[in-house]
Amino acid sequence: MVFFTEPSVTLVNNKIMTELKNDRFLRALLKQPVDMTPVWMMRQAGRYLPEYRATRKKAGDFLTLCKTPELATEVTLQPLDRFPLDAAILFSDILTIPDAMGLGLYFAEGEGPRFENPIRTKTDVEKLGVPDMHYDLGYVMNAVSMIRRELNGRVPLIGFSGSPWTLVTYMVEGGSSKDFHTCKGMLYEQPELMHKLLDVLARSVIAYLNAQIESGAQTVMIFDTWGGVLTTRDYKEFSLRYMQQIIDGIQRERDGRNVPVIIFSKGGCQWLEDQAKTGADALGLDWTLDIGLARARVGDKVALQGNMDPCVLYSSPERIRQEVAFILESYGKGSGHVFNLGHGIHQHVDPEHAKAFIEAVHELSQPYHQ
């Protein structure tokens, strides 16, 4: 593990930051006209790329890869060197904040993330404080600055965080879960304690995303991966409410440019109208809702990001093009669409299929922007 203790601001020098050569992605998030639909892929720096696997091997383990800014920068840029993507996304883990809070993140082989010290009691919750962004999480800020510098204006850089509710699921369960019964137990039986936990996380996420923006992130995304396991009432009270708090608390402008915010509740298409009221600029969509219907429901308020089933990338390039065409037609004319998968790209996808996907979006979307 490598920690950088210098405040990340020393690495940022706005004067030498070059102009964006490709701002299609930022423009689409703000519903401004574009020449073609921008595209990126969740988990685009990942195991489906042989060069990623090589860097990961060099790092030794996943956490070292996340905590070494040079290596995080290297893997962040890899997909951009292969494909004409319209955005880069910080390579990091979703659980950096709880790790910085002292929960002891580790990865058990084949079992996903685990915490040495899960949060179960009032005493556990009361011990938690907002981590120091430039000491405890300095490695993230250094990676952001370094990536931004290396990008040199090619495309915008996305910063991100997990949503408070999503972080809670891992923190209380102690890792991944099938039915989330420990964290739902706290939610149902001790709602005040759950709110206390969510509040310290929301304040941490605000500080985290603001520090990423200060360090060079040009837009931020909040991943609410597990919002969709809640009832409607609980989604609003325990998940969306804290995303709202974050949206209200983060810096929305930097260097004279808007910093758009994207929120994405997987499995949450039934709550789009509520999500659109938060002030987020864009909503992520998984693949279960037709994007045309989503646009009809909320498209005058927000941009939409999504929504191809990642499994389509296992198909032939012809079938991939066909699916891209379906989704573009469903969204229809005009800006406000960022093409993406509805979930992270799977590790066994052929990179050539990812390439076919990205090229199809650029090629087939142009008539929709004339």
Which residues are designated catalytic? 43, 47, 56, 93, 170
Total number of residues that touch a copy of itself (CB under 8 A):
34
> Does residue 269 interact with a copy of itself by CB under 8 A?
yes
- Rounded to the nearest 10 degrees, what angle do helices 191-215 and 138-151 cross at? 40
Q: Which of 288, 329, 334, 363 binds a copy of itself (CB under 8 A)?
A: 288
Helix residue ranges, H only, the chain: 24-29, 50-59, 62-67, 69-82, 96-98, 122-126, 138-151, 164-173, 181-189, 191-215, 232-234, 241-249, 272-276, 291-298, 317-331, 351-365
Rounded to the nearest whole angstrom, what is the least distance from the CB of residue 270 to a copy of itself in the complex? 6
Closest-CA residue to 202 (of 159, 157, 166): 166
Rounded to the nearest whole angstrom, what is the least distance from the CB of residue 112 to a copy of itself in the complex? 11
- Take residue 334 and report the two structure tokens written for it: 């005009």
> Does residue 290 interact with a copy of itself by CB under 8 A?
yes
Q: Cα 38 to the chain's mean position, in Å?
A: 16
Rounded to the nearest whole angstrom, what is the least distance from the CB of residue 189 to a copy of itself in the complex? 5
- Take residue 269 and report the two structure tokens written for it: 């298409």
> Does residue 176 interact with a copy of itself by CB under 8 A?
no
> Does residue 367 interact with a copy of itself by CB under 8 A?
no
Nearer to a copy of itself, 18 or 231 (CB): 231
Half-sphere exposure of 269 (CA within 13 A, CB side): 19
Rounded to the nearest whole angstrom, what is the least distance from the CB of residue 272 to a copy of itself in the complex? 10
Alpha carbon distance 147, 191 (integer Å): 40
Helix residue ranges, H only, 256-316: 272-276, 291-298
> Does residue 189 interact with a copy of itself by CB under 8 A?
yes
Q: Which of 102, 267, 317, 351 binds a copy of itself (CB under 8 A)?
A: 267
Q: Which residues bind a copy of itself (CB under 8 A)?
A: 179-181, 184-185, 188-189, 228-233, 235, 267, 269-270, 287-290, 293, 309-312, 314-316, 319, 323, 326, 346, 348
